[in-house]
């Protein structure tokens, strides 16, 4: 059984917890997730099964869409609602909506982020959350991320001092940190109240399935119908459709002359509507392309 399961991850489970459950439900060890979601976060978590596990890093490297809510007036050590307050400032009057929108627009494009201390980013062989739990402070690396879209979802909440917004961003973007940075730009300490991942690549809340749906499908022996083909996880990459002779060379993992013009590198090679491989430019031999992943018959 090969394909992509667009799981709607519930709150309370880690991404790895979901992988373990899917392994048992689909009775296979070849299962991998495509981008960690914190236990407190729910949303779209594409799960790759069987041969689809080969595209995990490529599906992970796609745009994400989130809906989030930030709270002004309080900063926490984890940058979200689960943490302990570390800074407070009274919000007498909420910033005007136009001002909030102007500030948010400043974050569109490529921006620098410093990941939270409570995160899985590695520094000197240890994850930042391990340092945080030991009350050790380490210098965190600045990361370059991209914000493609950001918009308010509703009128700012005067009673809760909260701001709900939607953001489309690159992989590796910390929405917790974005909430903190927006708060700073508005003149207040802030933290993230809630977060929902609405989409990853071609998968969204419109085609995601819950564990209850999966269990029902398994009882009917219809779980295979929940899986999407591998190419659905590669829609962000260009496609080169090849003839039968070239297809044989691709399946043998041969390097090929680079006589095509595509917008993405790596890219997908297909034959008769089937994904054969993912290729990229050969870094040592100019004018050639080489395989990154090959999908056997």
* CA distances in angstroms from 108 to 61, 72, 99, 265, listed in the order given: 19, 20, 15, 24
**Percentages (nearest 5) of helix, strand, coil residues in the chain:** 25, 35, 40
Beta strands, E only, 182-258:
190-200, 203-204, 239-241, 256-257
Asked if residue 209 lies in contact with residue 6, where contact means CB atoms within 8 angstroms, the answer is yes
Q: Kindly name the residue from 38, 102, 238, 243 that is annotated as catalytic.
A: 38
Is 38 in the active site?
yes
Alpha-carbon distance of 250 to 243, in angstroms, equals 10
Asked if residue 196 lies in contact with residue 69, where contact means CB atoms within 8 angstroms, the answer is no
* Tokens representing residue 170 in the block: 């690159």
Alpha-carbon distance of 100 to 162, in angstroms, equals 11
Kindly list the catalytic residues.
38
């Amino acid at each position: 059984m090969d394909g992509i399961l667009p799981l709607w991850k519930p709150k309370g489970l880690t991404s790895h917890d979901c992988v373990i459950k899917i392994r048992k439900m689909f009775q296979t060890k070849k299962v991998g997730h495509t981008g960690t979601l914190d236990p407190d976060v729910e949303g779209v978590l594409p799960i790759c099964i069987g041969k689809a596990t080969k595209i995990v890093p490529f599906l992970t490297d796609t745009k994400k869409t989130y809906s989030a809510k930030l709270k002004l007036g309080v900063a926490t050590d984890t940058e979200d609602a689960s943490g302990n307050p570390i800074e407070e400032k009274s919000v007498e009057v909420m910033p005007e909506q136009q001002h909030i929108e102007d500030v948010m627009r400043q974050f569109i494009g490529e921006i620098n982020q410093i990941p939270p201390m409570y995160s899985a980013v590695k520094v000197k062989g240890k994850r930042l959350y391990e340092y945080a739990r030991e009350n050790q402070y380490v210098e965190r690396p600045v990361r370059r991320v991209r914000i493609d879209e950001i918009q308010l979802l509703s009128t700012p909440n005067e009673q809760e001092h909260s701001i709900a917004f939607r953001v489309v961003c690159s992989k590796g973007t910390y929405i917790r940190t974005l909430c903190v940075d927006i708060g700073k730009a508005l003149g207040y300490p802030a933290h993230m109240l809630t977060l929902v991942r609405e989409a990853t690549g071609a998968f969204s809340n419109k085609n995601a399935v819950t564990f209850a749906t999966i269990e029902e499908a398994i009882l009917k022996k219809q779980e295979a119908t929940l899986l999407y083909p591998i190419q659905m996880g590669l829609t962000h990459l260009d496609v080169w459709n090849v003839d039968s002779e070239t297809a044989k060379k691709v399946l043998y993992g041969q390097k090929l002359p680079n006589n095509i013009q595509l917008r993405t590198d790596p890219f997908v090679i297909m034959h008769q509507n089937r994904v054969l491989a993912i290729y990229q430019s050969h870094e040592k031999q100019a004018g050639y392309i080489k395989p990154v992943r090959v999908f056997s018959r």
